[in-house]
A and B are shown apart, each in its own frame.
Chain A
Amino acid sequence: MRETLQLLIYGVQLGVIYALIALGYTMVYGIINLINFAHGDLVMIGAFVAYFAAELLGANFPLAIFLAMLIPACLSVAIERLAYRPLRDKPRLSALITAIGVSIFLENFPRMLPFIGPNYRPFPMLIPFKNFTLPTGAVLNSIQIVNILVSVALMVALTYIVHRTKVGRAMRAVSFNKDAASLMGINVNRIIAVTFFLGAALAGAGGVLYSMTYPMIDVLMGIWLGTKAFIAAVLGGIGSVPGAMLGGLIMGICEVVATALYSELGYGSGFVILILILLFRPAGLLGKVKIEKV
């Protein structure tokens, strides 16, 4: 029982991070049907921004995470403007290859910069580490608490933006039907840029929280983190915001439990679960099946 609870804590801690990153995938896919391969690398950029913020400005968690959200978000808007927008009316797969190109660039350009380089770097402690023992015997540490609280806060904020604000309503309208939204006076380009901004901000935050938990960062960390988060987004139903949150949690918990059972199983387990879920619910857990009309 104690062990189960302990595993659950680790799983939730990892799961909320996957969920944060998955939200960016799901929002971008929901709005322009693009699997944004460069999204994982924005996670890495977020982690590096926080690293340098801590090096230069001291270990200040709110400031580090703010910068780590802002800079990838601006970068993402720039990428959308320069690399994706010109291809919006072209075949869908051209944009996908562009996304791969951007991703290769984002991984290798920092690698060649002398102050970043290809090596692993230890991530600084942004908050003091402290263990708390719960009445059941499980141990909860301060990083886990901060991870979970910050992630939940960000997800609540995103849900609020999507469902309760004018921009959010416009986002939902654009993802429902771009042309109709445009006829209703919505500036589609601006709304897509906002979507990229929000998604990348969450990815940057996810990068910081992940690096606090596993304090080694390198330029390729975004690849696997991004792939798993993408799988989480699909699992929950791509295009669905609550789906991405649920999918992230499921992925995190499954991965931790499978690794605890047998260390080699951890990596593949998420994919097996994905296939099983897709067999029975092809649109993901909370996704809607689209009905095709002629």
Chain B
Amino acid sequence: MDTLRKYLPILGLAAFYVLVMALRKAGVLTSYYVQILMFAMINCMVTLGLNLINGFTGQFSIGQAGFVAVGGYTSAAVTTLLLPSSVLVPALRPLVFLVSVFIGGIVAGIFGYLIGKPSLRLKGDYLAIVTLAFGEIIRSLIRLIPQVGGPRGFSGIPRYSNLLWIVLFFGGTIWVLRNYIYSSFGRACIACREDELAAGTMGVDTTKYKVMAFTIGSAIAGVAGGLLAHLLGYLHPDQFNYLKSIDFLVYLYAGGAGSMTGSIMGATLLTILPEMLRFLSGWRLVIYGIALVFLMLFRPQGIYGGKELPFLIPKIRRPEGYEGGQ
């Protein structure tokens, strides 16, 4: 039973992949729907990363699109400028893609560290403001780099991403974050969220954990950016403006901050919903705005706030004969 429970999420993801591919083959799902699913999963990844920062550590980052841009541009630069697909044997391409996505994640993580280090020492909304500014500065900087297209946008990125890669990275993100959140590190993060002063008094190095959470969240956004770049084949600085960051915030808080299930649900629903409402043309955004207000008025904790599906909570291993509380 325990083994089944342990591998259930992996089986679930595999089943999901097989199902989507089968439906695609059978012609039930067009490539348009598969594309939306892939976008939904990428959005889930960014939202999950943001959830670690905003939901579990109680900080407030509102420039997540900036990190997606850093990761996307970096990994696209690796596969397009450094090792273009024309000089590679086909067998090497997935490897280069994998490496480039990780480089994108690492670079975004480094940026996250550099930004988090000075601004997370302070209490209050400084991280929010600094990340907002960072998102805009990155956009201005990208415009100044002609090698990646500058204001014209970065085109000709090989389209390496496919459903399999995205499902793998999506599963990996959930796995990493689940293990992080339910480790002593994660508990320290939650302690910072609940009461920073008390956490500090109990010996938690609050700055360290906040910076760590922020770096990991940014790195995940960078990885998602790498996948996005190779899915779209084209990047433009304006794709990552502050409205994009706001989208991720909306996914997070509509789904429910502090719950991985909530992030996944929020990002998936709110990626698919606007597509389904396309027949309403411009009115869909009007409805979206009103729906958001009503959601927050009647369910301020979000759809799934504070709760978690059981398979996202790892079973706690207890020593033999352990008795007592948590």
Contacts and interface: CB of A to CB of B under 8 A. Distances in A.
Interface in A85-125: 86-87, 90-91, 93-98, 100-109, 111-112, 118
Interface residues of B, number: 47
Contacts of B134: 271, 275
Interface stretch (A160-168, A194-202, A206-214, A261-269): A261-269
Given A100-B292, A101-B289, A265-B140, A90 B300 contact: yes
Given A272-B137, A274-B133, A94 B253 contact: yes
B197 A292 contact: yes
A59 B13 CA distance: 64
A83 B297 contact: yes
A92 B143 CA distance: 35
Interface stretch (B32-40, B84-92, B119-127): B119-127
B257 interface: yes
A90 B126 CA distance: 21
B128 A108 contact: no
A98 B151 contact: no
Nearest to B290: A105
A234 B119 CA distance: 14
A157 interface: no
Interface string B282-317: 110110111111011100110000000000000000
A1 interface: no
Contacts, number: 119
Interface string A44-81: 00000000000000000000000000000000000000
B185 to A, nearest CB: 23
A264 B253 contact: no
A268 B141 contact: yes
Contacts of A94: 253, 296, 300-301
A105 B295 CA distance: 14
Nearest to A98: B296
Contacts of A275: 130, 133-134, 137
A103 B136 CA distance: 19
A16 interface: no
Contact residue range for chain A?
Answer: 35 or more
Contacts of B295: 101
Highest count of chain B CB atoms <10 Å: which of A37, A98, A111: A98
A215 interface: no
B296 A87 contact: yes
A95 B297 CA distance: 9
Contacts of A37: 246
A227 interface: yes
B300 A87 contact: yes
Contact of A97 (B124, B139, B292): B292
B22 interface: no
A183 interface: no
A271 B136 contact: yes
B144 interface: yes
B262 to A, nearest CB: 13
A293 to B, nearest CB: 10
Interface in B126-172: 126, 128-130, 132-134, 136-137, 139-141, 143-144, 151
B300 A91 contact: yes
Interface of B: 54, 60, 118-119, 122-126, 128-130, 132-134, 136-137, 139-141, 143-144, 151, 197, 242-243, 246, 249-250, 253-254, 257, 282-283, 285-286, 288-293, 295-297, 300-301
27 contacts: A35-B128, A87-B297, A87-B300, A90-B300, A93-B60, A97-B253, A97-B292, A98-B296, A101-B290, A101-B292, A101-B296, A104-B285, A104-B288, A105-B286, A106-B289, A107-B289, A108-B288, A109-B286, A223-B243, A227-B136, A264-B151, A268-B139, A268-B140, A274-B133, A275-B137, A282-B126, A290-B124
Given A109-B289, A294-B197, 9 more contacts: A35-B125, A35-B128, A96-B253, A97-B249, A100-B246, A105-B286, A108-B286, A275-B130, A279-B118
